[in-house]
A and B are shown apart, each in its own frame.
With several copies, the nearest count.
Chain A
Amino acid sequence: MLVVEFYGVLQQVAGAKSLKLEAEQASLTVDEALELLRQQMPGLAEHLPRVACAQADQLVRRDQPLDPEQPLVLLPPVSGGCGRQA
């Protein structure tokens, strides 16, 4: 089981701040976890190509194995600072 956390617009799309992903394998790569997530929540599919993934304070690549003890954090395109151009 893996906890997936949503940020930004993904919270709106998912209708939740997090969910639990049931996985048969003990350890998943990011890609494998996202594929399970897509099956469980098809509404997220269109967002996933532009989403970055993190565990703890670090980004993780799609081909990296996940630490099953830590939430997988899904980060949509960022809009910090001020206006898009300001």
Chain B
Amino acid sequence: MSWMTDNPLDLDSLLQETDDDTCGALVVFAGTVRNHHEGKAVSGMSYSAYKPMADRVLRELEQETLARYPVEQCRIMHRTGDLVIGEASVLVVVRSHHRADAFDAARYAIDTLKMRLPVWKHDMYTDGSTAYQDGVPLEDPPASGARAKED
């Protein structure tokens, strides 16, 4: 299994990986590159990552999603490198018995990913300029001995 990749994300292979005859509900979330950002026309986007940590964050987020929600399958992949308009930067695939759980779990996975995944977006605008998008500061790990708060 892989989590971070320089290659175009392949939904079909994630659907095959998560194939599960016990599940009646499948929810997919994809983030795709938009043609605009804060009023400026975007020509493309470049994602960079701190890969050693990013792979671990996604692997653990899959496990955490499976533990927090009654869902049977959860896979997450994130793209790095140069993307054109319309290409997917992230895919979340969840399968469950009941559809409400699949929706909740997929939403949790993408919301949490955006707070934890060490990935940076570099916008390329049609006027030739570029800019790193500001984002969410990563939270410090809990002090040793202390346990992470469960909410």
Indicate yes or no for A touching B, C-beta below 8 A.
Answer: yes
**Interface of chain B: mostly helix, strand, loop or mixed:** mixed
Contact (Cβ within 8 A) B113 A8: no
| Interface assignment of A14: CB less than 8 Å from any CB of chain B | no
Contact (Cβ within 8 A) A76 B24: no
Q: How many residues of A contact B (CB 8 A)?
A: 30
| Interface assignment of A62: CB less than 8 Å from any CB of chain B | yes
Q: Which residues of B contact A57 (CB under 8 A)?
A: 52-53, 55-56
Q: Mark B36-58, 1 if CB is under 8 A from A, else 0.
A: 01000000000111101101100
Contact (Cβ within 8 A) A7 B34: no
Q: Mark B102-124, 1 if CB is under 8 A from A, else 0.
A: 00000000100111111111100
Q: Which residues of B contact A12 (CB under 8 A)?
A: 132
A57, B76: Cα distance in complex, Å: 18
Q: Which residues of B contact A80 (CB under 8 A)?
A: 47, 49, 78, 89-90, 113-114, 117-121, 135
Q: Which residues of B contact A50 (CB under 8 A)?
A: 137
Contact of B114 among A7, A9, A73, A81 (CB under 8 A): A81
Q: Which residues of A contact B138 (CB under 8 A)?
A: 52, 59, 75, 77-78
| Interface assignment of B140: CB less than 8 Å from any CB of chain A | yes
A23, B101: Cα distance in complex, Å: 51
Q: Which residues of A contact B96 (CB under 8 A)?
A: 86
Contact (Cβ within 8 A) B140 A52: yes
Interfacial residues of chain A within 31-51, with CB under 8 A of chain B in the complex: 50-51
Contact (Cβ within 8 A) A83 B31: yes
Contact of B32 among A9, A60, A82 (CB under 8 A): A82
Contact (Cβ within 8 A) B31 A81: yes
| Interface assignment of B1: CB less than 8 Å from any CB of chain A | no
Chain B residue nearest to A61 (CB atoms) is B140
Contact (Cβ within 8 A) A60 B120: no
Chain A residue nearest to B114 (CB atoms) is A81
Q: Which 7 A-B pairs have the closest CB atoms?
A: A82-B31, A86-B24, A8-B120, A80-B119, A79-B135, A52-B138, A77-B135
